[in-house]
Structure 1
Amino acid sequence: MFCNQCEQTAKGTGCTVTGVCGKKPDVAALQDLLLHAVKGLSYYAHEGRRLGVKDNKIDHFVCLAIFSTLTNVVFDPERLQQLINQTVEYTAQLKDKVAQAGGNVEFADPAANFKPAADLEGLVKQGEEVGLPTARDVDANIQSLQQILLYGIKGVSAYADHAAILGQHDDTVYAFIYEAMVSFANKELGLNDWVGLVLKCGEINLRAMELLDAGNTGTYGHPVPTEVPLGAKQGKCILVSGHDLKDLEQLLKQTEGKGINIYTHGEMLPTHGYPELKKYPHFYGHYGTAWQNQKKEFAEFPGAILMTTNCIQQPQELYQQNIFTTGPVAWPGVKHVDNSDFSPVIERALELPGFAADEDKGTVMVGFGRNAVLGVADKVIEAVKAGQIKHFMLVGGCDGVKAGRNYYTELVEKAPKDTVILTLACGKFRFFDKDLGDIGGIPRLLDVGQCNDAYSTIQIAVALAKAFDCGVNDLPLSLVLSWYEQKAVAILLTLLHLGIKGIRLGPSLPAFITPAVLDVLVQNFDIKPIGTADEDLAAILG
């Protein structure tokens, strides 16, 4: 196997024996084969759009299939086998429709004519043979850009899948995914063409995040500032980790009146700010962090655990009997919940002891999405003009267990008291419970939400730039981001598409970026690797 798609990759170059995340070689091969199958389907979907042949069910499925190859989503070979076979079935359907419409159905790429092996062993061998859908016999810098594009597509697909679940679709998103997948076989494209496709991926991701934002806020209301308990309440309990708001809503409905308190974990913390979710009285509080102590926290939690999307490494036998997955998540030995029927989760929660007594561990504030922040924009602007707020820092992104991430905690702790910290995604769990005080009633630490809420952060920056009659790059705003997996890649591409410069990125730079491609990013966008907290604060604050 060879996998270099996440920040935790072995030796900073790529996992070759087994994944640092726990991914086994057979799973890696099957994920590559799934992408190969999706690439084949993309030829017919891309050609079909020229003729007006589309299928929204297939479009959503493709996003789900690509999403399933992200870090820490699917570790179950049988689930990948199902996805591969379903992809081939949909490919045959599209091929027939395109042929009937008079389109081209003769493609030289073996992916377009892929026939899956009959068993898992055969599929694994096929996956080992095909590898990633990117080209192998091209210049290293083009190959690097192709990998950036592929991993960006994975992030786009994740956001598009979340949005589709809430009824939000845009064919420009699906069309680009197909265009990008077939482009990997196009040897006529030069370096500048690939740079263009990478930046277009950022543009498309902005649209996908906008769709997801519309789905979340349109269904559950705009988040409002909300105080969330970090302790526990005596009684039966279920812990929900991941990102999916609809799954959380369904669980809340199905546990009403059952004497079970619902807790969030990881990136579900911001969901306490949504009016249509916080109205449930048994939606109690937040338990644990995201990555740092995750295995210990899950092992000690006295209730059932529901995983809605990728957020942890493979569960250990110690506690996997209490874990249930939903959506794209699938791991061997872990029960999967289908059709939003959470009765198995509820039954397990009732069997387990729950919390024996109340525990007070303080509270944190969430709910500072764009509506909440822009609702006090006049106070923010006044504080800036009065010199009370001298700088804004966005410190967020994906978290992980690899060394070097304490930098973000130190950066926030050492930031001057006239600095406001905006944060989002699971990276905030390095400092989310720090009491940073306020500036004129405005909290210095503003939790904008999940990584899925990056759209909100962008809108806040754009609105502030408009208020001060300047460009975003002219604001007293610094972006210091951590990355872990492919959704972070897509968000970074969106920021580059928007022309945002001077981003500090860490804790280490992506292994799939060659020195020459990095030089392009530095020269055009002034991307910087993080240094020490003291050095970077000195540079940021001048």
Structure 2
Amino acid sequence: MENKMFCYQCQETAGCTGCTMAGVCGKKPEVANLQDLLVYVTKGLAVVATRLRNEGKRVDEDINHLITINLFTTITNANFDYDSIAQKIDQTIKVKTIKLKQLDTKEGLPEAALWNGEKSEYDEKAKLVGVLSTENEDIRSLRELITYGLKGLAAYSKHANALLQDNEDVDSFLQEALSKTLDDSLTVDDLVALALETGKYGVYGMALLDGANTSAYGNPEITKVDIGVRNNPGILISGHDLKDLEMLLEQTKGTGVDVYTHSEMLPAHYYPFFKKYDNFVGNYGNAWWKQKEEFASFNGPILMTTNCIVPPADSYKDRLFTTGATGYPGCKHIEGKYGDKKDFSEIIELAKKCEAPTEIEKGEIVGGFAHEQVFALADKVVEAVKSGAIKKFVVMAGCDGRAKSREYYTEFARALPKDVVILTAGCAKYKYNKLNLGDIGGIPRVLDAGQCNDSYSLALIALKLKDVFGLDDINELPIVYNISWYEQKAVIVLLALLHLGVKNIHLGPTLPAFLSPNVAKVLVDNFGIGSITNVDDDIKMFFN
């Protein structure tokens, strides 16, 4: 069989239809196919775990954690390492084999729950179990929508797990929903309902992570973050995992090595806990897609804690380290179980031998507008709305990306009426968080709640405003939604917003390729999902 692939889980998928010869992200067909096999055997383990629960048997946290880390591993730009993915398949099959023996009956189990092929069979099996193995286009579309939402939910659960926080209800739902993507008896209507239920548990998953982060590090507060550099050698930490950052800061204390955040790690500066570290000095660079030039100029080592790896250039590949779900062939991986102290000494010693970062910009950016901080400003915000100083809010959360079409979001922010405030979270903010958009009565016109998972904060803020203004429907608020998406964590955020009843969300720069025409019609007809057009027309649509 020809060594091809099929993947359409991210916004940049080739031709907005699917990558077939190589991933736009940089993954090779053999890696893409092996990721499909990892998802397949993980679905099989989810089936077994769900049946164990139905038989009244306990499923250990280790099983829950294995399933979430497996799904996280297959998120776009997380893991490009064939051997690492193969090892996860090995482990999953071994665990599944043990758990199968604990079942009262194996009757009716799908092949994914029973398959236990040898490593020599992986490549050929992988070509048979990918996205296109579901023939019906609409069923395939909904199965993938649910699976991608569950990948996003797994990512957020993993971050909470790293802080020793778990939610059995979230894990059991995730596994049951994953197993249902193998159930050929489910209709389109059944799967639409399951997609919306996935959004419900997406809210629970983001609440779990929000509670884990704030209980460990305090509630985010308004913070100015330096975007220049100092003269000390530095370590750049990227991704989303705050526990990894905590361990790195603790180990670099007093070493003369500074720590800088990159991309989605920027909001770590907003948490009170991290402000005690004198060597936690600022943010370097922009969103994930600029890392080839910015990692080269940083000069020191880079630690990737989660997805958003761009295949590294030779100029810094030997300075790139991975941990958690991430991996790239030829880059050193730092191991560590939840609750264990990871050893970052090799990274620190390398940093000491490197030049200080090359400065690429100066100034500062302001963030920290998560739910508790905005609640503290509620009276001021409400008064600005009642007086007419603020006419509308626009939620511009989501992801950034390298496509030229994403310049739309910069121009859209510039063109906004001066009485409109942007609510943002995720790396989408890098399209406009360094623009001089000013403030309204002391309220900045860009309110950054944090990472992509902190879209939960934006939902809480909307619900709070609904109560304050005495409205019956969240859609009566002066809030519009113009969201950019890239990968699977954006999918769970979208499903969560749909579960909360938010309608008329516009997605860009393109609608997901995995939405079949019929499924897209369901979302348009029932929820008002739309696409972006151009800045002038969209400004008129949203604000006239």
| TM more than 0.5 | yes
- How do residues 250-399 of structure 1 correspond to structure 2 at under 5 angstroms? 250-339=247-336, 340-355=342-357, 361-399=362-400
Q: Which residue of 2 aligns with 1:62?
A: 67
Question: How does 1:88-99 map onto structure 2 within 5 Å?
Answer: 88-98=93-103
Q: 1:266, 1:311 within 8 Å by CA — same for their partners in 2?
A: no
Alignment identity in percent?
Answer: 46
1:304–1:345 Cα contact (<8 Å) kept = yes
1:424-457 alpha-carbon deviations (Å, 9 max, x no partner): 1011111111121111111111111000211111
- What residue in structure 1 maps to residue 135 of structure 2? 137
| Secondary structure, aligned partner of 2:85 | helix
Q: Does 1:123 align with 2:122?
A: yes
Matched residue, 2:242: 245
Q: Judge conservation of contact 2:46–2:67 (CA < 8 Å) in 1.
A: no
Correspondence 1:39 to 2:36: no
Choose from 460, 484, 487 the match for 1:485. Answer: 487
Query: Quick one: distance in 2 between partners of 1:187 and 1:359?
Result: 54
CA–CA distance in structure 2, aligned partners of residues 488 and 5 of structure 1: 11
AA aligned opposite 2:435: K
Cα-to-partner distance string for 1:232-291 (whole Å, 9 max, x where unaligned): 111110111100000001000000000011111001111101011121111000110014
Give me the TM-score of the superposition, normalised by structure 1: 0.96
Give the 4+ runs in structure 1 shifted more than 6 A: none
Instruction: For residues 203-227 of structure 1, give each alpha carbon's deviation from its aligned partner in whole angstroms, at most 9, with x where no partner exists.
Output: 1111111000000001000011111
Alignment of 1:447-458 (within 5 A): 447-458=448-459
Superposition deviation, residue 359 in structure 1: 7.9
2:171 to 154, 170, 174: 174
Per-residue deviation at 1:292? Answer: 4.7
Q: How far off is 1:96 after superposition?
A: 2.4
Pair 1:434-2:435 in alignment: yes
Task: For residue 97 of structure 1, report the CA deviation from its aligned partner.
Answer: 2.6
Query: Is 1:512 matched with 2:514?
Result: yes
C-alpha spacing 1:188/1:135, structure 2 compared with 1 (3 Å): farther
Q: Which residue of 1 aligns with 2:339?
A: none
Please, which of 75, 81, 84 is the counterpart of residue 79 of structure 1?
Answer: 84
Aligned match of 2:21 = 17
Matches of 2:348 and 2:31 in 1, distance apart?
Answer: 30
- Could you tell me whether the CA contact under 8 Å between 2:297 and 2:357 is conserved in 1? no
AA aligned to 2:372 is: N
Using the alignment, how far apart are the partners of 2:24 and 2:445 within structure 1?
Answer: 36
Q: Which runs of 5+ in 2 are unaligned?
A: 337-341
Kindly provide the amino acid, as one letter, of the partner of residue 373 in structure 2.
A
For residues 272 and 440 of structure 2, the distance between their equivalents in structure 1, rounded to whole angstroms, comes to 26
CA distance in 2, matches of 1:152, 1:395: 20
Residue 135 of structure 1 deviates from its aligned partner by: 5.5
Counterpart of 1:391 in structure 2: which amino acid? K
* Separation of aligned partners in 1, 2:458 and 2:366: 17
Query: For the aligned residues, what is the CA RMSD?
Result: 1.4
8 Å CA contact 2:370, 2:448 repeated in 1: yes
Is the Cα contact below 8 Å between 1:146 and 1:184 reproduced in 2? yes
Q: 2:312 & 2:302 partners in 1: Cα distance?
A: 11
CA shift for structure 1 position 108: 4.5
SS in structure 1 of the partner of residue 21 of structure 2: coil
Aligned partners of 2:289 and 2:535: how far apart in 1? 20
| Residues 370-428 of structure 1 deviation map (CA, whole Å, 9 limit, x = unaligned) | 11111010010011111111111111201111231011111111111111111110111
Task: Tell me the distance in 2 between the aligned counterparts of 1:353 and 1:186.
Answer: 56
Distance in 1 (CA, whole Å) between partners of 2:80 and 2:185 is 36
- The range that moved more, 35-44 or 220-229, is 35-44
Aligned length: 533
Any conservation in 2 of the 1:85–1:116 contact (CA below 8 Å)? no
Aligned to 1:28: 32
- SS in structure 2 at match of 1:239: strand
Q: Which string of whole-angstrom CA distances, capped at 9 and with x for unpartnered residues, describes residues 453-491 of structure 1?
A: 111111011001110111210011011101100010111
Aligned to 1:234: 231
Alignment correspondent of 1:540: 542
> Contact 2:170–2:201 at 8 Å: present in 1 too?
yes
Q: Give distance in 1, aligned partners of 2:134 and 2:449.
A: 40
Alpha-carbon distance in 2 for matches of 1:229, 1:182? 46
Secondary structure of 1:449's match?
coil
Deviation at 1:124, TM superposition (A): 1.4
Q: Does residue 147 of structure 1 match 2:132? A: no
Q: Is the 8 A contact 2:147 2:181 kept in 1?
A: no
CA-to-aligned-CA distance 1:331-372 (integer Å, 9 cap, x gap): 10111112211011101101111147x887010011111111
Q: Which amino acid aligns with 2:127?
A: E
Instruction: Indicate the SS of the match to 1:94.
Output: helix
Equivalents in 2 of 1:137, 1:321: separation in Å? 43
Tell me if structure 2 keeps the 8 A contact 1:135–1:184: no
Q: Tell me, in whole angstroms, the C-alpha distance in 2 between the residues paired with 1:370 and 1:118.
A: 48
AA in 2 matched with 1:72: N
2:5 aligned with 1:4, yes or no?
no
Offset of 1:318 from its aligned partner? 2.1
How many Å separate the matches in 2 of 1:281 and 1:525?
Answer: 48
For 2:386, give the aligned amino acid. Answer: K
Deviations 1:40-65 (A, max 9, x none): 11221011111132111111111001
Is 1:198 aligned to 2:195, yes or no?
A: yes
